[in-house]
Amino acid sequence: MEAINILFFLSSIWILSTTALDIISVNQPLTDGTTIISSGAKFKLEFFSPGTSGKHYLGILFNEVTVQTVVWVANRETPLNDTSSALNLTRQGILTLVNGSGRVIWSSNSTRHVENPIAQLLDSGNLVVRDDSTENYLWQSFDYPTDTALPGMKLGIDLKTGFRGFLRSWKSRNDPSEGEFSWVFDLRGFPQPFVMNGSIERYRSGPWNGRGFSNSPSQLPSPDYNYTYISDPEKVSFMYQLTDRSILARVVMQVNGVLQLSIWNNQTQNWDDYVSVPADNCDIYGQCQSYGLCNSGNSPICRCPDKFEPKDPTEWERGNWSKGCVRKTSLNCQKEVKFLKYPGIKFPDTRFAWYSRGVTLNACEELCLRNCSCMAYANPDITGTNEGCLLWFNELMDIREFGASGQDIYVKLDSSELGNSSTKMVKILSISLPVAVLGLLLALCLILYIRRKKKDQNQQHFSKGRGTRSSEMFCTNESKDEELDLPLFDFETISHATNNFSLSNKLGEGGFGPVYKVTMLTENFLFHPKKLIRSAAMDTQQLT
């Protein structure tokens, strides 16, 4: 009986331990040297020391990864110097981290309370505090990210609740306190995220285009990822998910200012980097300054777009692009303006832009035309809706050439700058083509007039009994291929030449009628009798 009781006691302990591997309760603190593991064994919560620092922190780490990979740190600004610290859960549902002397180093500071609170490490890597019978979270670590974004973690800003979810790099690989670099949303104008170096822009992800951030072509729609983006006047948030939950992924704001998406490789037992930004010099914010186009495949990488020129040509040639580009012809609201399309580019900074979702591209152009301060317009949505109007009201900053993976923008220019444009060419053709046709018609009329006049002169010549050349009558003598110019005579002339067809001039008669001998001397030609006989025969036949 005693053996049965002992077995039952040990079984109860085993059941309790297995059902509580991912939970901290009010009476079960987490002490230094102990660990709680998520239900799927992906993550663990424990005290750790980064690198060779010798200092202790409470954090969430990947559990099945052989390389120490921390995704969240509770006390990143206040390290622990002893190994007697503990994480407790109060009856009000507040997590408190205390050192060996009992001083609170960190707490979750939840303002809500429940009767039976528990803290649980989920298989998503999220540490939550909730009631033991509901999924209503009082607090969650996903709302307070450090340097890492995990799938399902929401990043962004909510002005109503005060939520600010952004990534901040470690100070060094051995120090998880806040470093110099951050990835944060800017809600001004048309919202977009930035990698910041303190207060200085380092990299701009660009606005949302319906499928991803417009200035990150490598972040294309993929069957492996699902993106969720929400934006309204009071909040903006972004979250990514993996379709294959067995894949371990993370987005990290590295200590060197690089935002990096990595996937764990089980074969190599290492992290493979899939996306890293900034990736090249053209990713650095404002590399070519206002209106300058950056292309990492060119040398030099900066150039002024069509209809623009360097503001300081001398410095530009030296590789100093700090003053950017300007229009060759300055805009004047009193003069006519047009728009020139620049395809395949990285959208300029949208912090001083305006966006409306339900406006067509044609209506967007009209809005920009009517506003003297509007510099350019575009449709940022690439999902095929053909709606959405984005207007820029300042100099266009941080532009680069992406080619086929970029988007189109229409920049306002003085109409005189479009002299070589298709619109101007159409105007030129509309004027010159009718003039050319009219000239051709006049030339044709002149030719016809000359020919008609010449014909009239020939007729007058015939009436006087004179011959003229004809290209319309052909006769053969020695060869059928020989083309002859024969004199033509009217009836009166022939009658006179044959003495009114006298029998004394008749040579004979055949199948073509009678043949008369004609001897006639013109003012220019002495005709061969044989030819004249044939001509007379032909004309006589026509008269009979």
Edge-first strand listing for the sheet containing 376-378:
337-345, 407-414, 376-378, 387-392, 353-360
Q: What is the DSSP letter of 116?
A: S
Element (H, E) at 516: strand 513-516
| 532 pLDDT more than 60 | no
pTM of the model: 0.73
Residue 490, pLDDT score: 65
CA distance 491 to 543: 8
- When the pLDDT of each residue in the chain is averaged and rounded to a whole number, the result is 84
Which of 68-72, 485-489, 504-508 has the largest mean confidence?
A: 68-72
| 129 pLDDT more than 80 | yes
CA distance 74 to 129: 14
Rg (CA), the chain: 47
Task: Answer with the residue of higher pLDDT: 215 or 247.
Answer: 247
| 403 pLDDT more than 80 | yes
Task: Answer with the residue of higher pLDDT: 451 or 473.
Answer: 451
Q: What is the pLDDT of residues 312-364, one digit of tens each?
A: 999 999 999 999 999 999 999 899 999 999 999 999 999 999 999 989 999 99
User: Among 402, 292, 285, which Cα is nearest to 345's?
Assistant: 402
CA distance 170 to 167: 10
Distances (CA, A) of 263 to 148, 186, 274, 335, 342: 13, 28, 7, 56, 36
Confidence of residue 442 (pLDDT cuts 50, 70, 90): confident
Residue 274 exposure: Cα atoms within 13 Å on the Cβ side? 18
CA distance 377 to 310: 22
CA distance 253 to 121: 23
User: Among 257, 250, 252, 312, which Cα is nearest to 284's?
Assistant: 257
* Three-state SS at 101: coil
| 456 pLDDT more than 70 | no
Token pair recorded at residue 470: 């004809």
Q: What is the pLDDT of residues 195-237, one digit of tens each?
A: 999 999 999 999 999 989 988 755 545 668 889 999 988 899 9
Q: What is the pLDDT of residues 511-524, one digit of tens each?
A: 556 776 766 544 44
Residues 6 or more apart whose Cβ sits within 8 Å of residue 433: none
* Three-state SS at 524: coil
Region of poorest pLDDT, from 28-37, 218-227, 325-334, 414-423: 218-227
| 171 pLDDT more than 90 | yes
Residue 165, pLDDT score: 96
Residue 450, pLDDT score: 77
| 527 pLDDT more than 50 | no
Residue 418, pLDDT score: 87
